[in-house]
Structure 1
Amino acid sequence: MALQQLNAPSHAQSGIPATVPPSGVAHQRHRHTDKFTVIGNHLAQHEEMSLVALGLGVYIQSLPDGVNVGIKSLAARFQEGEVTIAKGLRQLEAYGYLSRTRERTPQGRWVTRTVAYDMPQAVIQQPTAPKPMPTRKPTPTPSVAPAPAPATTSAPANTRSPARTPSPAPPLPEPGHPDLTRHRTATEILAGLRRHDPRLVLSERDVRRLAGAVSAWLERGIESAAVQRTLTGLLPQDPIHSPAALLAHRLTTLLPPPLPAVPARPRVVPLQNCDRCDHAFRAPEPGNCPGCRETDGPPVEGPPVEGEFDPRS
């Protein structure tokens, strides 16, 4: 009988250190000396953002300044479509990791300024330096104390001014004289805008609400093609979240003034040829000229013509 080897291992060695947990992910750490990015766990382990937003946030923070991170550029870089990427960017904006503002360059071109924040809370909680208190010159003490002001005119020192409420949006233009044909043309213009830009999809309710404003443009002599160019030209490159609000703003602020009234042309009396002297004169109806009418006397009664009935007989 062979002797039992007491020093043989009971199972094969796996090479995993004993400190590794028996389940879950195990990390093999490596110290990076170049080409690395420090990402906070508040972003990498965010509990409310989607995986697309987390991936976009990590990717954007790893890029150097000046790289284009627009929706079209990101869609060309990754397999996700523009709609999915736009949703992820909006989540990053909602939680303070990204800000996008539209600015106009001195050359008149609109550009989008994008700023990425690796620690949004640090930006929000950043203390501001206190403003220095203005120094006041000492006022001389009057010899006679002034009369106290009425209690109704004085206000407490800690009274705050009321918050300013945003001004309501201006009303949509309406036609002065409603016309069924113009209203039908306005409805066709609004419903067909999505053929020129798929982002301009309007509901039936929006079309009914904006048809009166388009009719006001048509009533003022603007051609249908010109109204369409005004509503679809120079649209922003970013996604249009409310096409109805954008169109209402353009129809209200860009409304052209009505055409000035054209004065009525004076009525010209036509020329007539006199039935008696054949001279030309102006009169509304044919006949004799004024000179011939003045020389005309009363009709002369002559003897009856042979064969004509004579009432005197």
Structure 2
Amino acid sequence: MAKTGYGKRLAGDEDPHADADFAHLLPREAELAVFIDHLDTGHSMAHKVLAAEHPRYGQQATRTALTRITEAGHLRWIKEHITLDDHTMRWVTRTYWSRTRRSPEWWAQFARERHGKDVTRDHQPGLARVEDGVTIDVPAVDEPGIEPEPEIGIEPEAEPEAQPDSAAYRVLAGLRAADARLQLTEGDCRSLEPLAEEWLARGATPRDITRALTDGLPPTVSNPGGFARRRLESKMPPQQSEPRARVTRVIMACATCDQDERTVKIDRGVCENCRQELPDEPVTDEDMVKEIEEIAHLGTTSAFFLRKKLERRTGGPVPDTFRPVPIEDRVFYHYRDNRDRIANGLPSRRWNP
């Protein structure tokens, strides 16, 4: 799942599910479209995340398929400029999905209707910076390739690492150094941690908490835990209302490179440069299976002759443990490279032992 407010978002007004929803797509794109359609709202739409969860296609194949699904009218990346009541501004990239095939004109009207929308629920605080005299809030957006690449493979189970203490816990534990009369125990810090976290959530700083608990202490404190709890509850700062956020500008973005229509021409959700990089004739599933089987057969044959060639050179068999890279691994690297190239619609490379 992506961060709250990002990820897959439904465009709305969907037709009921039908077998012909994605019949106009090629088999690979249709399979990925069905996969995306069944994802929960808010799921990350980055091609690396989708490829890690899909059992058949890799990152490049998924990225190409997303581009073609976008061209077909099911997917759009739209950048929204959001202005808050406190005069901070931010650009966010939204990913809108429609099971029903939409025309470019429909998507253009959909983008225009986003202007002026109240998106307070979708607002996520980011890191503010100053740009041309205007305060801009920079969020983490859900765009292609931004998530860290997931680890592939099965690793041995490791012992769980100890979770670092929260900021609220560290403030409470530091009271011993701030004032010797507040000798909170480990149990006191853990039980008071939710109250201190609520202080921080309402805009208080660690120094504010320390000052509220240490100012005006009596000469002796017989029950530091109970004393700290009473002060945290009685001096709790007021709840801050979230500033209202609304969309003040909407522009289309390319599904592949994330450039927007301010700098490039966007046609059917894809810019001209990214469209030129796509193969003219997409590879069908039948061609893909056939070429992969041929590559696998050639790889096995090449491994056999490569082993015989090396054995003649060394005068006899040599265990793989004495080789820099096992022969099967060399063949596997070549096969995996060609498999990814074929899935992305590129010609395979010849084997050169």
TM-score scaled by structure 2? 0.25
Of Structure 1 and Structure 2, which has the larger fraction of its residues in strand? 2
TM-score scaled by structure 1? 0.28
Q: Could you say which structure has the greater relative contact order, defined with CA pairs below 8 angstroms and 6 or more residues apart?
A: 2
Higher gyration radius (CA)? 1
